[in-house]
Structure 1
Amino acid sequence: MAWLHTWSGLVVGWILFAVFVTGTLSYFRPEISQWMRPELRDVKADAHAASKAIAMLQERAPNSPRWFITLPEAREPVVRVTFRDPNGGGEGRRGFKVAVLDPSTGEEVKARETRGGDFFYRFHFELSMKPIWGRWVVGFCAMFMLVAIISGVITHKKIFKDFFTFRPKKGQRSWLDAHNAVGVLALPYHAMITYTGLVTLMFMYMPWGIEANYSDNREAFSKEALGIAAEVKPANQPGTLTDIEPLIEEARRQWNGAHAAFITINNPSDINSRITIRRDTEGQLANSNRNVVFAGTTGELLSVAGEPAPASQTRAVMFGLHMATFSSTTLRWLFTLSGLGGILMVASGLVLWSVKRAPERAKLGYTPFGHRLVEVLNIGVITGLPIAVAAFFYANRLLPVTLAERPGWEVRIFFAAWLLSFVLPMIRPARVAWTTQFVAGAALFAALPAINALTTQAHLGITLAQGNWVYAGFDLTMLAIATLLGLTGWYASRPPGSRKPAKHKASERLNLPAEAERA
């Protein structure tokens, strides 16, 4: 079990570190997206946002076969509309276009283009690879993570007792104590987030049950198990959509007053149009498809998705736990702190692997290639990823607003900064590389609020006075991260034996002669 724990953690540890970091950032995906679009600082939600969004879509994309409308909410007060271009243009192979609207006017907001928090969200389960391959890689690593958690609990028979024991300045023992502490501190979270992460993509990893019962008819499965309405083909006869506001009110009545979050309109210009309204997940642990379907032209209520079957409800609860969309601000921060514990657990485990083999290197008189490779990867990933995240935010503020393919350039700068973080560990001693790159990361995060103040009107001097905690909270969090990285860099810079032993005479502690102590 010790062997299994060691190697199941090391082999995929660097990817798991990246997954934990970007997944933890994803808890504040809407807030990050807002900060990266400072032009939206003064946008306010509006009760009639859906009607205005439909009016905009009827003008701009009347022939589109499908519209998607994300309604404003407290964490993201804008309206986001997505529509499929019948001519095949737009983003991606499926030809989708996206626009951000002001809820009060229905007009498109000319905010800078950016991936925002969506980049971290997609990266943490796709790794910026082709989706199918990225999801398989992350799923493979998540399974290894689950094995490492279980084998770690079995290996450390006194793990809970050791949680209350920390022995500093003991080399390998200290690293093991730290690894145990951060591992046990949020152990239920680590097991939950790993297992539920696998469950969110279970239909891709284990499709055989669906294939055995539904053959190739995935649509029937989605309708029966997930409450997703079947797609209706157009009648190829022109039709006019009914007013959306009464339909939203009827949907709320069906949900006992819960709010609508998302609207899908199929065949919007056809007599056979369908309007599907999905409820939000506020206060709901289960992230299930509770939706109401109406006839688009008459407003007739066609179907109401009821309570899902027990198996589907179980999956919906696990999905909700993983996404934490149900959580309050306080609970979201607790999830974030647990995610930070996961980050530290993976990082300390990776470092512990190298520390445990220090005597072997000393005995050999040189560093084997495998040990050196792990050392470089540790430094490049653990110190380099924060630098890359900071570079991503800098790119958002410093790249020209009118730059073509601006979101793509933000991502390229992220990966370029991360790649450069592997250069110093290759050419300099490990202690120097650790210290330099932690301090560099701290400096980048510390200067970010200043760069924000110089480039936008959404800086701390204004946002704190206005009580705008999305923007102010982001800047303050950047300063907190800078402090954490700075303290880590300072600690890493201290050579072994630089601190006084823990036990020493009172006369030494007080800097008094022995005679004075006796007196």
Structure 2
Amino acid sequence: MASSIWPKANKRLVDRSLSAHSVMGLLVSAVMFIVCLSGTVAVFEDEIGWWERPTAPVLAVTPEAAQASAERVIATQPDTSHIYLYLPRDNWPRFVAGGDDGLETANTEGALTGNYETPWNDFLIHLHYYLNLPPSFGMIVVAILGVMLVAMAISGFLAHPRIFRDAFRLRRKGQARIVQADLHNRLSVWTSPFTIVVAATGAMIGLFSVIVLVLAQTSFDGNTRPLVEAVFGEEPPPDASPAGLADIGAALAAMPEVAPDADPFLVVLHDPGTAGQHVSIYGEHHDRLIYGETYNFDASGNFMGHEGASDGEAGQQIASSVYRLHFGDFGGLAVKLAYALFGTALCIIIAAGMNIYFLKRAERGAAMPRLFSAWSALVWGTPALFTLTLLASLMGISGTWLPLLFWGGGLVIAVGGGLLADHIRVGQILRMLLWIALLANVALHAAIHAENYGNPYTWITSTIFVLFAIGLFARSLTPGSGKTRLEPSAAE
């Protein structure tokens, strides 16, 4: 047999390279786990936003009140390039108005009643969208993870020819690796449509800017504007000459005639106070997946046309449907609960996949207890850090401090877990931290916002937190809970 052309490898170098490879795989899995878990929680961003900043519900807003709120926004933010009016909906009964420098809640008369700051909700969305990185770069990173997730789902099917035949075979006792493999494979089959749809739409959202740049270079001589306008519609040419504020009220009053089947939920005034200003009203079509059709009006409230998300080219309608399909923002609470269930299953799939890897190594006599423990710390430390950052937000900490607390805390927890080298003990400690922090959040929130607990969004969310904490506490009291080590006995 011919000798290898490669020099004989140093065993220590090989071991170190394998360890480095494992660490990189662990980091990729950890980041993917964080993206999936944050996305699962973000399904309830509206409910969490209500809980974080509870106010009295506003059930309806008249065109006159909308005009009054816009006038108050331009008075407080004279240099804003846009005015935003978020109108109440069935599942979101509040009125929020503002400009480039921030939003405020408003009452039924259009008076601005206070800050609408939801720092933890903003942190969560920024984490899921961008991993708290600069947006243009972070969104691409998250999109690449979406592409990887689609590839993993497809390759998983190809690698397991019996995956459908064994779809309902779930062994909960026996060899630890087999138990984890069954959990990983069964959940992968049951949730595969959800996983592929959510991962693919997330990749589409994240890579849209890249796709636009590439297509602009190949088909539009580097000009991105025609391509963007083909999807989102054309805008009137800008005219910065001073003018009175546009008549938003007239535009809203015309909506029942212009689009009787659309419920307005967002009003955007572009370039307010200029001769080129125009009004865009987003209308929700309840029988469609599109985010909303955009109806455009001039400064006097005269209808100029709609962008075509509801009846335009197929590609335009698909592009407008991606957001709601990705976040489960359709079909009401039942769809949100289904997305939360499937999202949790996806997180379990990722966690079990890494568990299988570590168990296989243990069976071969090459156990990695420190990395296994660090992985356990990341899996349970991520939800624990969510609750700790939420608690910090209630205490007045916001801005860049929340991502610093999350990522810094994650590093400390992972390193600490690795040093402890006991994934069972690490999981127990972090689960205890999780339920304690949940109860602390509810107690502090009740002390701060006691007068707003008549709002169902407030007390229902707090009740769910308490029930989840009780469930975690009860699990810790169950005999034998969390005490069965994942390593086979022969490898210990």
Compute the displacement of 1:51 (Å). Answer: 1.6
Is residue 444 from structure 1 mapped to residue 444 from structure 2 by the alignment?
A: no
Is residue 413 from structure 1 mapped to residue 385 from structure 2 by the alignment?
A: no
Compute the displacement of 1:74 (Å). Answer: 3.5
Compute the displacement of 1:335 (Å). Answer: 1.2
Backbone CA RMSD of aligned residues = 2.8
Report what 1:109 is aligned to.
113
What is the aligned length? 457
Residue by residue over 1:45-72, the C-alpha shift from the partner in whole angstroms, topping out at 9 and shown as x without a partner, is 4334422221212322345343233223
Name the % identity. 19
SS at match of 2:382: helix
Is residue 169 from structure 1 mapped to residue 173 from structure 2 by the alignment?
A: yes
Compute the displacement of 1:496 (Å). Answer: 5.2
Compute the displacement of 1:30 (Å). Answer: 1.3
- Rounded to whole Å, the distance in 1 between the matches of 2:77 and 2:392 is 32
Pick aligned residue for 1:473 from 453, 457, 460: 460
- Rounded to whole Å, the distance in 2 between the matches of 1:153 and 1:392 is 38
Is residue 291 from structure 1 mapped to residue 294 from structure 2 by the alignment?
A: yes
Report what 1:233 is aligned to.
238
Q: 5 Å matches for 1:23-42?
A: 23-38=39-54, 40-41=55-56
SS at match of 1:427: helix
Pick aligned residue for 1:494 from 474, 480, 483: 483
- Rounded to whole Å, the distance in 1 between the matches of 2:41 and 2:69 is 29
- Rounded to whole Å, the distance in 2 between the matches of 1:185 and 1:310 is 30
- Rounded to whole Å, the distance in 1 between the matches of 2:251 and 2:275 is 17
* CA pair 101-443 structure 1, distance change in 2 beyond 3 A: closer
Q: 5 Å matches for 1:27-426?
A: 27-38=43-54, 40-41=55-56, 45-48=60-63, 49-83=65-99, 96-111=100-115, 113-170=117-174, 171-207=176-212, 208-227=214-233, 229-236=234-241, 238-280=242-284, 282-287=286-291, 290-296=293-299, 298-306=300-308, 307-360=311-364, 363=365, 367=367, 371-372=368-369, 374-399=371-396, 406-426=398-418
Compute the displacement of 1:487 (Å). Answer: 5.9
SS at match of 2:101: strand
* CA pair 397-188 structure 1, distance change in 2 beyond 3 A: same
Residue by residue over 1:128-151, the C-alpha shift from the partner in whole angstroms, topping out at 9 and shown as x without a partner, is 011122112212222221121111
* CA pair 58-135 structure 1, distance change in 2 beyond 3 A: closer
- Rounded to whole Å, the distance in 2 between the matches of 1:68 and 1:55 is 12
- Rounded to whole Å, the distance in 1 between the matches of 2:210 and 2:271 is 33
SS at match of 1:109: strand
The answer on whether the counterparts of 1:29 and 1:118 sit within 8 Å (CA) in structure 2 is: no
Structure 1 residue runs of 5 or longer lacking an equivalent are: 1-5, 84-95, 498-519
Amino acid of the residue matched to residue 249 of structure 1? A
The answer on whether the counterparts of 1:80 and 1:98 sit within 8 Å (CA) in structure 2 is: no
SS at match of 1:138: helix
* CA pair 62-448 structure 1, distance change in 2 beyond 3 A: closer
- Rounded to whole Å, the distance in 1 between the matches of 2:116 and 2:314 is 44
Which range is displaced more, 322-331 or 6-15? Answer: 6-15
Compute the displacement of 1:187 (Å). Answer: 1.4
Amino acid of the residue matched to residue 229 of structure 2? K
The answer on whether the counterparts of 1:99 and 1:108 sit within 8 Å (CA) in structure 2 is: no
Compute the displacement of 1:424 (Å). Answer: 3.1
The answer on whether the counterparts of 1:32 and 1:117 sit within 8 Å (CA) in structure 2 is: yes
- Rounded to whole Å, the distance in 1 between the matches of 2:240 and 2:33 is 51
Compute the displacement of 1:458 (Å). Answer: 5.5
Compute the displacement of 1:433 (Å). Answer: 1.3
Residue by residue over 1:280-323, the C-alpha shift from the partner in whole angstroms, topping out at 9 and shown as x without a partner, is 354421235x2222221x33322222322112222333333113
Which range is displaced more, 8-17 or 29-38? Answer: 8-17
SS at match of 1:287: coil
Which range is displaced more, 448-457 or 16-25? Answer: 448-457
- Rounded to whole Å, the distance in 2 between the matches of 1:192 and 1:150 is 12
* CA pair 139-479 structure 1, distance change in 2 beyond 3 A: same
- Rounded to whole Å, the distance in 1 between the matches of 2:471 and 2:33 is 17
Residue by residue over 1:440-475, the C-alpha shift from the partner in whole angstroms, topping out at 9 and shown as x without a partner, is 21222244323322333068xxx4xx4x43112211
Amino acid of the residue matched to residue 328 of structure 2? A
Amino acid of the residue matched to residue 257 of structure 1? D
Report what 1:92 is aligned to.
none
Compute the displacement of 1:261 (Å). Answer: 1.9
Compute the displacement of 1:11 (Å). Answer: 6.3
Compute the displacement of 1:7 (Å). Answer: 12
Compute the displacement of 1:392 (Å). Answer: 1.8
* CA pair 61-321 structure 1, distance change in 2 beyond 3 A: same
The answer on whether the counterparts of 1:442 and 1:482 sit within 8 Å (CA) in structure 2 is: yes
Amino acid of the residue matched to residue 223 of structure 1? E
Amino acid of the residue matched to residue 46 of structure 1? V
- Rounded to whole Å, the distance in 2 between the matches of 1:421 and 1:283 is 46
Residue by residue over 1:395-422, the C-alpha shift from the partner in whole angstroms, topping out at 9 and shown as x without a partner, is 13233xxx7xx34434443334433322
Amino acid of the residue matched to residue 463 of structure 2? L
* CA pair 425-479 structure 1, distance change in 2 beyond 3 A: same
Compute the displacement of 1:79 (Å). Answer: 3.4
The answer on whether the counterparts of 2:371 and 2:418 sit within 8 Å (CA) in structure 1 is: no
The answer on whether the counterparts of 1:52 and 1:105 sit within 8 Å (CA) in structure 2 is: yes
SS at match of 1:326: coil
The answer on whether the counterparts of 1:383 and 1:421 sit within 8 Å (CA) in structure 2 is: no
SS at match of 2:119: coil
- Rounded to whole Å, the distance in 2 between the matches of 1:473 and 1:112 is 20
SS at match of 2:280: strand
Compute the displacement of 1:436 (Å). Answer: 1.4
- Rounded to whole Å, the distance in 1 between the matches of 2:285 and 2:31 is 30
SS at match of 1:320: helix
The answer on whether the counterparts of 1:443 and 1:482 sit within 8 Å (CA) in structure 2 is: yes
SS at match of 1:99: strand
The answer on whether the counterparts of 1:283 and 1:327 sit within 8 Å (CA) in structure 2 is: no
* CA pair 332-267 structure 1, distance change in 2 beyond 3 A: same
Amino acid of the residue matched to residue 388 of structure 1? L
* CA pair 114-226 structure 1, distance change in 2 beyond 3 A: closer
* CA pair 458-430 structure 1, distance change in 2 beyond 3 A: farther
Compute the displacement of 1:110 (Å). Answer: 3.0
SS at match of 1:291: strand
- Rounded to whole Å, the distance in 1 between the matches of 2:25 and 2:369 is 18
Is residue 427 from structure 1 mapped to residue 419 from structure 2 by the alignment?
A: yes
The answer on whether the counterparts of 2:280 and 2:295 sit within 8 Å (CA) in structure 1 is: yes
The answer on whether the counterparts of 2:58 and 2:95 sit within 8 Å (CA) in structure 1 is: no
